[in-house]
Chains A and B, each alone.
Chain A
Amino acid sequence: MGFTVFYLSLVVLIPLSTLFLKTATLNWHSFVQEVTSPRVVASYRLTFGASLIGALINGFFGLIVAWVLVRYKFPGHRLLDAMVDLPFALPTAVAGIALTAVYAGNGWIGRYLEPHGIKVAYTPLGVLVALTFIGLPFVVRTLQPVIAEMDPDVEEAAASLGADRWQTFWRVILPSLGPAWLTGFALAFARALGEYGSVIFISGNMPMRTEITALLIVTKLEQYDYAGATAIATVMLLASFAILFLINVLQSRTQKGRI
């Protein structure tokens, strides 16, 4: 017990608190100026926007993947199920260079998109692809157990009361998946906000256009602008804490609902 708290403080709490203490030494005026400069705001827009769209894409396809993996059996179904965790297991730098190679103008997929005027690598679209990749497992993994545990009686009741399959899905199945879906969505969104490794290769890192906030923090650090890096990091950290807090509230609600 004592060891737990000691190690936790040493490794996590003390280092993390330096960030806030450092922020506290900045003066308010320069802090605000730092975190609202046009280049930083452009990076927020890209990071939050691409994270949100990526999480929505994962929310849509994740639901289908989770449903198919739980309800339908087909050859290779087990293998595919194990593969879903790839974005967790694959180092982000490897994911970054792999996605860039796939979506570059001469890449396996990029070469079919480019003639149609769709450029992915080195554009905001590339950032979206990377953030979709790293958020992929979250919605699938939060939905799977809920779909598996769903009581068949409820669907049966709906069917015997005359609902067709479509109505059962919209009125009965989907609402019961709501809280888990929202949790998975929020987790994917939160993960995407802080992502660095998989994005920096495919994005091209052009200031104002394809520069994400995490990269901006690194750039400031490399210029020894500790104050600037800290200020931006504080804003990002508060944003992810807010999301984490929402997830916790959601999860405690769902658990209460189940009992």
Chain B
Amino acid sequence: MMAAALRVAETPERPKSLTEPRWVRWSLTAVALVFLMVFLLVPLAVVFSEALSKGWRVYLASITEPEALSAIRLTLLTAAISVPLNLIFGLAAAWSITKFQFPGKNILITLIDLPFAVSPVISGLIFVLLFGARGWFGPWLDAHDIHILFAVPGIVLATIFVTFPFVARELIPVMQSTGTDQEEAALVLGAGGWQMFFRVTLPSVKWGLLYGVILCNARAMGEFGAVSVVSGHIRGLTNTMPLHVEILYNEYNFTAAFAVASLLAFLALVTLAAKAYVEHRFHEH
């Protein structure tokens, strides 16, 4: 990294009067590198180093024990339900916001962003107030033997809530910039509503859509605060991967905690790579 800093290339496209002296460029680059290293690379490296500190055998055992596997399964299940639902909603919301005119449009956009402004803990709390034993629907649910809180449905609901805005907010600007000309052309040429949607609208927004889904999925699999409030931490039943990490860590089982965490860190790296790839493709178009 320091070698990279020392080889800061000349910036040929900018004349001397429009860039900083070389020593300023070097020191600014060095400051940026050190800051990012201390805050990003070191914590990331620590996860993998701690996970492997007792060797591969312990690592593999930690991520294949039954409770870890059930946490992995629940995390995948939660993402498999919440991501498609928010994908469909995101498409519908972006579609109605960008292709039609109606009063209250800006309010709708603000409301879609709302879950981003709510603390994860509060996102969990509202579902406790709704479905908890002393919540609004609690007594009724109890009477009918339906379990939402401290069970899988609660985890899915809280995850849907916190990942709600991702797809819609990525799609809205993309759909805005493509306009309605192509769709009108398709309709004039005799395409039906669905045909137009699948042949014209969807292909034109596919990169924006993919981008939103990648971010939505990362959050769905990694959500901690909201899920922690509604899950009840029942091992092997309502533990998602992040919650399993917490339990192992609090039991001073650090190697196992970091082993499961390393899977989530790997997921984060895949997310970043996929994101960079989509951004790259998006700029080409």
A residues in contact (CB < 8 Å) with B:
1, 3-5, 7-8, 11-13, 15-16, 18-19, 22, 61, 64-65, 67-69, 71-76, 78, 80-95, 97-99, 101-102, 107-109, 132-133, 136, 152, 155-156, 159-160, 165, 190, 193-197, 201, 214-215, 217-218, 221, 224, 226, 229-230, 233, 236-237, 240-241, 243-244, 248
Contacts and interface: CB of A to CB of B under 8 A. Distances in A.
B253 to A, nearest CB: 11
A32 B17 CA distance: 60
A88 B223 CA distance: 11
Nearest to A16: B126
Interface centre among B122, B132, B229 (most CB of A within 10 A): B122
A108 B11 contact: no
Interface centre among B19, B89, B126, B246 (most CB of A within 10 A): B126
Interface of B: 1, 4-5, 7-9, 11, 14, 17-21, 24-25, 28-29, 31-33, 35-36, 38-44, 46-47, 50, 89, 92-93, 96-97, 100, 102, 108, 110-115, 117-122, 125-130, 132, 134-136, 157, 160-161, 164, 215, 218, 221-225, 228-229, 241-243, 245-246, 249, 254, 257-258, 261, 264-265, 267-269, 271-273, 275-276
A85 B118 contact: no
Contact of B42 (A90, A109, A195): A109
B125 A94 contact: no
Contacts of B33: 80
Nearest to B241: A91
A159 B224 contact: no
A11 B268 contact: no
Given A74-B4, A84-B36, A193-B119, A90 B222 contact: yes
A61 B268 contact: no
Given A98-B47, A218-B229, A91 B264 contact: yes
A92 B180 CA distance: 40
